[in-house]
Structure 1
Amino acid sequence: MAYRVLPGLLYGRSHAYGHPLTGSGSEASVNSITRQDLIHFHQTWVRPNNATLIVVGDIRMAEVKPLVESYFKGWQSAPVPKKNLDRVQPADRAIVYLVDKPGSRQSMVLGAKLAPPKSDPDDIAMETMNLILGGTFTSRLNMNIREDKHWSYGARSLIMNAKGQRLFLAYTSVQSDKTKETVQEISQELQGLLGAKPATAEELHAVQLNRVQGLSGRWETMNAVTNSIGEIVTYGLPDFYYETYGDRVRSVTLKDIATAATKVLTPQNLIWVVVGDRKKIQDPLKELGYEINYLDGDGAIVPQPFH
């Protein structure tokens, strides 16, 4: 439920990225789809000037080109609408959005904001910083909330890929009576990387090894190679992106990590989505002093309950 409502809160419903991260729309939107809608979508978007053909295998361009020219010769180009990828201004304060799930013994706690695009020059530094924060089992978030506090089975963070501003998420599911405290601990871990507890040389070395030594596994199958090429195409990355990836990961410094943290981590204006039993968690959350709004399962604002 948290992933369904989050994009609309950060991007707005009219933005290309403002749709739910799970499922395919809402019950109402799916029920309203007509055959003509499908035809219109196909005619609008499925065009050669809006597509890239990736071929991976024991084959040469001289063999592929005649096949493409033969089978796709009738496929006509046409103007393609421009999607709304406008830059979204960040919130000016932290806000909590609460989705009531009566009877739940756990709360899903998710803190999010928008980070720079995948094509940002500091992408690898941001990726590396995130590994230290919450991208591995031994990351700070997991070692704090799972291993030290024992409130959760796991806590993570991630930076999603996108051509435009992309989602940064710090998230976990915790026992209901530690919901407020989890918001505080996540905020504290973000603040730590911003200066109170900067990344160490040991942490940086560990995540660099994690990324570099795992590279060989990225291309074990033809499908994996296709996906890597697709990532380069989709996000406008240089053709040599993966050729130099290992060296660029190894060259990340602690100063780079600190810079990346300032570009991504802003605990003072995170958007929090909390899904849980409102009657158990509402009053403790109010103690945080943040504005609290109430949502239904589709992300629509609902009136504040009286009790």
Structure 2
Amino acid sequence: IILKGGHYLDKIDKAGTASLMANLMTQGTKNKTPLELEEAIDNLGASINVFAGADGISISTNTLERNYDAVLALVEEILLEPRWDEEEFALAKTAIQNGLMRQKANPNSLASQAFNKLIYGDGHILSIDRQGTVESVSSITIDDLKDYYNSNISPSVAFFTVAGQINQQKVMASLSKLAEKWTEKEVVFPEYSLPEQPSESKIYFIDVPGAKQSVISIGNLGLARTDPDYYLTTVMNYKLGGSFNSFINTVLREEKGFTYGARSSFNGSFVPGTFIASSSVRSTATLESVEIFKNLMETYKDVVSDEDLRFTKDALIKSNARNFETLWALNGMLRDMGTYNLPADYIRNEENAVKNLTLEQLKELAVKYIHPDKMYYVVVGDAETQLKELEKVGFGKPVLYQ
């Protein structure tokens, strides 16, 4: 069961509510203690997980077909009869707070948080980690979880996916029973304005004294998954930084040996996501790595070739045949259809779009969406040895970001 919203429906001063609520939903129900619920799931040889992401909450199960009805009954109990156990709430809250405290010392987390804050601005919920901040989680009470549940857990924003050896008639009959018990309500999705994107690039530096590595995140606001250009921009990016054999990974990893991996990607949901190019490199290679990212993005539209396009087409079309071999993968395809209102043949449509893509069209997409002169450059590393050096990139004096 997928419920649209997730972290996006959190209040900014209570960021992390959806995540904390999702953690608590499998810790017992109205009529089952946490241990009793765990035993009931185990006795069926099943798994039930609840997860709150940036744009939705998923209740996912894995079960034998013969136990489908019994497992769905447990899902129904979890969904409609939460326990709101105060002790489990306190434990879950403490665990999340401890994790967030650890993130403050994690260079990758620091880079991600700064990057999202720059892209979306302070007033946007997506500028904050889906688990919230130490401060926001500290302020969350169990009544906040109940308020989120009562306002946002509704069949009006839900859809159901199933993959396996089970007939449609049985599934539809089982869901009709759930529909009778689940009260529909209007869910209000907030509208956020997006800050003006940079007219010129700037480097933002986060100091981790003595760091032996630098984390680099470069990018800007991207596209929503629903944008007509979205899929083909991911195809365009494949040879730039979307695969192991991409230009970015080949230069930074294979030729220079600066890193174990470097990449770029477009990410989007029902709201605009980001374009990001990123890597962790040894500290002494920070300046050269930033310059390599910049130069590869600048020249991509000029150097990408027919051979590169053939490589991209072959790789994507062949991998598609393997991408939907498992039930989880098929369920993921169904989830995308439900979340983004995609047609049942969207995979075939995407394959045809790849087959028909010309080099000229690929270059046009690169010109349209890859702007290394109008991006945020976030670097986390040792300021004493790297901050001054980064002035040589040509974007002025780096900003020491707090």
Question: TM-score normalised to the size of structure 2?
Answer: 0.69
Q: Distance in 1 between matches of 2:134 and 2:392?
A: 35
Instruction: Indicate yes or no: 2:400 matched with 1:294.
Output: yes
Q: What is the aligned partner in structure 2 of residue 224 from structure 1?
A: 329
Give runs of aligned pairs for residues 63-82 of structure 1, distance below 5 A.
63-82=170-189
Alignment equivalent of 1:254, drawn from 334, 359, 362? 359
Q: What is the aligned partner in structure 2 of residue 271 from structure 1?
A: 376
Q: Distance in 1 between matches of 2:265 and 2:292?
A: 17
Q: What is the aligned partner in structure 1 of residue 320 from structure 2?
A: 215
Q: Distance in 2 between matches of 1:175 and 1:55?
A: 45
Report the residue type matching 2:398 in the other structure.
I
Give runs of aligned pairs for residues 229-240 of structure 1, distance below 5 A.
229-240=334-345
Alignment equivalent of 1:206, drawn from 288, 301, 311? 311
Q: Distance in 1 between matches of 2:370 and 2:330?
A: 32
Instruction: Indicate yes or no: 2:119 matched with 1:13.
Output: no
Q: Distance in 1 between matches of 2:248 and 2:361?
A: 20
Q: Distance in 1 between matches of 2:237 and 2:192?
A: 24
Per chain length, whose mean CA-contact separation is higher, i.e. which structure has more relative contact order (CA < 8 Å, sep 6+)?
Answer: 1
Q: Distance in 1 between matches of 2:234 and 2:263?
A: 13
Pairwise CA distance, 1:230: 0.6
Pairwise CA distance, 1:120: 2.3
Instruction: Indicate yes or no: 2:288 matched with 1:185.
Output: no
Report the residue type matching 1:281 in the other structure.
Q
Alignment equivalent of 2:135, drawn from 28, 36, 55? 28
* Mapped contact 2:222–2:268 kept (Cα < 8 A): no
SS at match of 2:127: coil
Q: Distance in 2 between matches of 1:266 and 1:236?
A: 30
Report the residue type matching 1:193 in the other structure.
Y
Please list the CA deviations of residues 196-242 of structure 1 after superposition, one character each: whole Å capped at 9, or x if unmatched. Answer: x2x10111111111111111222222221111111122223233211
* Mapped contact 2:113–2:127 kept (Cα < 8 A): no
Give runs of aligned pairs for residues 169-180 of structure 1, distance below 5 A.
169-180=276-287
SS at match of 2:398: strand
Instruction: Indicate yes or no: 2:263 matched with 1:153.
Output: no
Q: Distance in 1 between matches of 2:245 and 2:184?
A: 50
Q: Distance in 2 between matches of 1:105 and 1:186?
A: 20
Q: What is the aligned partner in structure 2 of residue 41 from structure 1?
A: 148
Q: Distance in 2 between matches of 1:162 and 1:148?
A: 34
Please list the CA deviations of residues 242-300 of structure 1 after superposition, one character each: whole Å capped at 9, or x if unmatched. Answer: 133222211111112112112220011110110101111110112333353223xxxxx
Q: Distance in 1 between matches of 2:188 and 2:399?
A: 35
Pairwise CA distance, 1:116: 2.1
Please identify, of 42-51 and 243-252, the stretch whose mean Cα deviation from structure 2 is larger.
Answer: 243-252
* Mapped contact 2:223–2:268 kept (Cα < 8 A): no
Q: What is the aligned partner in structure 1 of residue 390 from structure 2?
A: 285
Q: Distance in 1 between matches of 2:178 and 2:227?
A: 37
Q: Distance in 2 between matches of 1:280 and 1:266?
A: 28
Question: TM-score normalised to the size of structure 1?
Answer: 0.89
Q: Distance in 2 between matches of 1:145 and 1:281?
A: 18
Q: Distance in 2 between matches of 1:175 and 1:240?
A: 45
Instruction: Indicate yes or no: 2:270 matched with 1:163.
Output: yes
Report the residue type matching 2:119 in the other structure.
L
Q: Distance in 2 between matches of 1:262 and 1:116?
A: 15
**Structure exhibiting the larger radius of gyration computed from Cα positions:** 2
Report the residue type matching 1:182 in the other structure.
S
Instruction: Indicate yes or no: 2:215 matched with 1:108.
Output: yes
Q: Is the alpha carbon distance of 1:262 and 1:235 closer, same or farther for their aligned partners in structure 2, counting shifts above 3 Å?
A: farther
Pairwise CA distance, 1:101: 1.0
Report the residue type matching 2:326 in the other structure.
T
Report which of the two has the higher share of helix: 2
Pairwise CA distance, 1:51: 0.8
Report the residue type matching 1:18 in the other structure.
S
Q: What is the aligned partner in structure 1 of residue 243 from structure 2?
A: 136
Aligned residues between the structures: 292
* Mapped contact 1:116–1:263 kept (Cα < 8 A): no
